Structure 1
Amino acid sequence: MKKQWKPVDSRLNELMHEYSVSIEDLVERTGLPKQRINDYVNGFKSNMNIGTAMAIADAIVRSIEELYVWNFKERRHLIK
C-alpha cells in the first residue's frame, strides 16, 4: 500500500505569528481576497488548492510543506 501524504492541520496562523506577517501583508503579497485569507487563518477553510498554498508559502518565504502538519512523521530520504 502506498503512503499518501495528506495535510492534517494548517500551520498558517502559527507561521504568520512566528514571522510577523499580517493578513494585510498576505493580501498585498498574494492578491488573494482578505476574507479568503482570514478564513484560512481562522480555520474556517482548512485545505487550500495547490496554487493558493504556493502563493501563501511564497509570501511568507516558507516551503509549501511547512504550511501544514502532515499525516506522516517520517520524512522521505533521498537515495544516494
Structure 2
Amino acid sequence: MYEVGKCRLKILLRERNIQQKDLAAKLSMSKQQINDYISGHTSTMSLKTAKNIAHALDCCIEELYEWTLSKNKK
C-alpha cells in the first residue's frame, strides 16, 4: 500500500513559475488554502481539489505528493 507523503505543490509552482496567489485566483481558492497545503497545515487535499490543481498545473494528481510504499502488509 502507498502512503501520502509531503506535498510537492511548492516545487511544482516553482518549476512552472507560478505564484500561489495566481493559482489560488485561477481556482477560486484563497492563497491561504494553497499555503496550507504547501506548509503542511492541511495534510491532504480532497480529490476534487487535487484534480483541479493538477489540471491547472498540467500534471497528474500523483505528482502533487511524494509517495512512500508502506512496509505494513494487510
TM-score bin, normalised by smaller chain? 0.7 to 0.9
Q: Which amino acid aligns with 2:64?
A: L
The match for 1:51 among 43, 48, 52 is 48
Higher gyration radius (CA): 1
Inter-partner Cα distance in structure 1 for 2:60 and 2:48: 13
Q: TM-score, normalised by structure 1?
A: 0.76
| In structure 2, distance between residues paired with 1:6 and 1:29 | 29
SS in structure 1 of the partner of residue 49 of structure 2? helix
Q: SS in structure 2 opposite 1:71?
A: strand
- Unpaired segments of 5 or more residues in structure 1? 73-80
TM-score (norm 2): 0.81
Give 1 or 2: higher helix fraction. Answer: 2
More strand by percentage: 2
Q: What is the RMSD computed on CA atoms of the aligned residues? A: 1.2
- The yes-or-no answer on 1:37 pairing with 2:34 is yes
Q: Give the length in aligned residue pairs.
A: 69
Gaps of 5+ in 2: 70-74
The structure, 1 or 2, with the larger RCO (C-alpha pairs under 8 Å, 6+ apart) is: 2
Q: Equivalent pairs: percent with the same residue?
A: 38
